[in-house]
Structure 1
Amino acid sequence: MAAATALCGVVAAAPPGAQAWTAAPAAGRPYAYLEGPAGSVLQDTLSVTNPGARPLTVRLSGRGAPVSFAARTVTVPARTRADVPFAVTVTADLPPGEHRGTVRASAAGREVRVDLRIRVSGPHLAALTVEDVSVDTGTGALRYTLVNRGSTVLAPRLAVRADGLLGTVLDRPERALPLTLRPGERATRTETWPDPPALDSVTVRLTAAAPGAASATARAEASFASGPALTGAAGLLLAAGGGGYAVRRRVGSRTPRASAGATP
């Protein structure tokens, strides 16, 4: 259980002639604030006031957070206020920090939205790893998995470098990735490499970072050997071998001729 305080209630425009009923956190607070550790259930009360001359039936729901009510539908008598308890379940995997949700009440063609501000207590730990790096030597695509090993939401960044036998063949500076990772979440991604080497043995290094987290690096080895490159290399070897054979033949052919012209 935890204490509550609350966020601004947003009231949709009422159609002409609609009852001017209201919904807000108890005690007239402008928004609901709940605080507690992950895995807890936090409680508060929503006050629905019906100033009209007829009973009012109000439907209640929650958005953006697991909200449950003592009753999903409540009928408020004329000129009466009804206090409806509700509870917010803070899931065990919800990271420490501030989170948002909404309680909604609707009746007589109107909807009132009361914002929830939920503060999850606990230590903040930012930890990111990059795992399962592999290289597709046919396309050059780099496949890897990012894992959030900490207790906070992370916005990862990635740098890529590949070194071959004769030097660096890919050097991609660190850049932000279009994703966020919740604690314990994994994301498998592919990094394109449009112009990988045709004939080389390379070491690929992927370095992942996020604010507050130490950088993590993983690597993979790959050997590129395309058909045209192999054909060209084989041609060079044959040309070199053929030239040596011709030289040997020329050297060998001069020896018999010199012997024939010599005096016995």
Structure 2
Amino acid sequence: MPFRPRTAVSGAILATAAVLPSPAVAAARPAAAPAPPGWSAAPAPGTGAAPRAQDRPFFYLEGAPGTVLADRLSLSNPTGRSVAVRLRGSGAGAWLTLASKEVRIPPRTRASVPFTVTVPRDAVPGDRSGALLATGQAGGRATVPLHLRVTGPVLSALTVEKVSVRGAGGPAVIRYTLVNRGNTVLRPRIAVRADGLFGPELRRAARTLPSALAPGRAVDLTETWPDPPALDAVEVRLTATAAGGAHGSATASYTAAPWWAVLAAPVLLLAGGAGGPAAVRRRRRGAGAGGTRGEQAARRAAGGARPSGDEGADAAAELAGTGPGARG
């Protein structure tokens, strides 16, 4: 078969194109992951062997208040140079005491660092979270989670405090404070109701608040009342509940009145107070002059005395007005 240079060159170009990746394929490849620090930190296996993927990924400790709990951290250095690592705890790890806060690991060596966690005597039962942090002096950082459960009786308690209602001529704002008086984390539910002199004014069913409330913590909250009454005296009651039987409630008074009613009330009271004594005084003066005209005429008729002049005419008219034929 005769040799054809053009065909051979074309074949070589196609072969080269098949081997070299196209720019689109090269761009589609992900960037290389950053190189690891060369050392690692993990909870030490109970057997003393090197940590494996199937071993525990975090520390879990459990004990009553006043208990001292112990565990070990494993530091591995597979590199060919020495590595210095600093250690510290955070969160619940603040109760942690390390055998050494700085460890130097020789090349291709694994170090085991003991530590203890002392649960305070006044710690409330419940779950705590934290971490053991390892930082390399030459770079790199590792975080090992730590979960701690403080055992003991669980108490769920919740109070509603500092309830007040503010607003005039528009929407009102109900302010209050929720306090977790127990030793467990609570997710409170709050219900609102208001009752006035003329009947119910507000009914708001219980709803779960968006955030949890840690033991011993207090949070200030508000409720908007879009359409409070314009004229009424209202008692507002807030009721909070949570899991474990936690329950608390508190009330506040809210009086709504238009401006003209507020201004007119003192005037009406003064007018009523001034008219009453005057009427009583007039009645007493008439009684002190010998009684009513009818009583005077009756006494004179019984005694045979004959009234004269205008006095007789007034007495006769009074008797006629009180006789059996008189009209009411």
TM-score range relative to shorter protein: 0.7 to 0.9
- Output one character per residue of 1:155-205: Cα deviation in whole Å (capped at 9) or x when no partner: 111000001111111111111112322222222222222222111001111
Aligned pairs (5 A) from 1:134-213: 134-138=164-168, 140-213=172-245
Q: Distance in 2 between matches of 1:36 and 1:120?
A: 5
The question of 1:44 aligning with 2:71 is answered: yes
Does the 8 Å contact 1:95/1:182 carry over to 2?
A: no
Q: How does 1:107-122 map to 2 (within 5 A)?
A: 107=136, 109-122=139-152
Q: Secondary structure at the match of 2:203?
A: strand
Check if 1:126 corresponds to 2:153: no
Q: How many angstroms does 1:52 deviate by? A: 2.3
Unaligned runs of at least 5 residues, structure 2? 1-31, 46-50, 269-328
Instruction: Report deviation, 1:147.
Output: 1.6
**Which whole-Å CA distance do the structure 2 matches of 1:136 and 1:226 have between them?**
15
Kept in 2: contact 1:137–1:224 (CA 8 A): no
Matched, 1:26 2:44: yes
**Which of 82, 88, 101 lines up with 2:130 in the alignment?**
101
Segments ≥4 residues shifted beyond 6 Å: none
Moved more, 150-159 or 73-82: 73-82
2:83 — aligned with what?
A: 56
Contact 1:137–1:223 under 8 Å retained in 2? no
**Separation in 1 of the partners of 2:70 and 2:260?**
70
Q: Which residue of 2 aligns with 1:258?
A: none
Q: Tell me, in whole angstroms, the C-alpha distance in 1 between the residues paired with 2:65 and 2:139.
A: 37
Change (3 A) 1:153 1:229: same
Alignment RMSD:
2.8
- Report the CA distance shift for 1:17/1:183 in structure 2 as closer, same or farther (over 3 A): closer
Q: What CA distance in whole angstroms lies between the structure 1 residues aligned with 2:251 and 2:37? A: 65
Identity %: 53
Greater helix share, structure number = 2
Amino acid paired to 2:251: R
* Partner AA of 2:86 in structure 1: R
**What TM-score, normalized by structure 2, do the two folds share?**
0.59
Is the Cα contact below 8 Å between 1:130 and 1:207 reproduced in 2? yes
CA offsets, 1:96-137, max 9 Å, x none? 233322223233543332221212101111111212222225
Higher share in strand: 1
Q: Which residue of 1 aligns with 2:99?
A: 70
Q: Return the alpha-carbon distance in structure 2 between the equivalents of residues 172 and 218 of structure 1.
A: 15
After TM superposition, the structure 1 = structure 2 runs for residues 72-91 of structure 1, keeping only pairs within 5 Å, are: 72-91=101-120
Confirm or deny: 8 A CA contact 2:161 2:177 kept in the other structure: yes
Task: Give the stretch that moved more between structures: 28-37 or 62-71.
Answer: 62-71
Separation in structure 1 between the aligned mates of residue 237 and residue 183 of structure 2, nearest angstrom: 26
Structure (1 or 2) with the larger CA radius of gyration? 2
| Alignment match, 1:225 | 257
CA contact (8 A) 1:158 1:177 kept: yes
- Alpha carbons of 1:223 and 1:111: their partners in 2 closer, same or farther (altered >3 Å)? same
Partner of 2:11: none
User: How many aligned residue pairs are there?
Assistant: 221
**Which deviations, in whole Å up to 9, do the C-alpha atoms of 1:13-45 show, x marking residues without a partner?**
9844853x3322222442312111235443321
- Pairwise CA distance, 1:92: 5.6
Q: Which has the higher contact order (CA 8 A, sep 6+)?
A: 1
Instruction: Give the aligned residue type for 1:102.
Output: A
Check the 8 A contact 2:126/2:183 in 1, yes or no.
Answer: no
User: CA, structure 1 residues 76+129, in 2 after alignment: closer, same or farther (shift >3 Å)?
Assistant: same
Specify the SS of the correspondent of 2:225: coil
Q: TM-score, normalised by structure 1?
A: 0.72
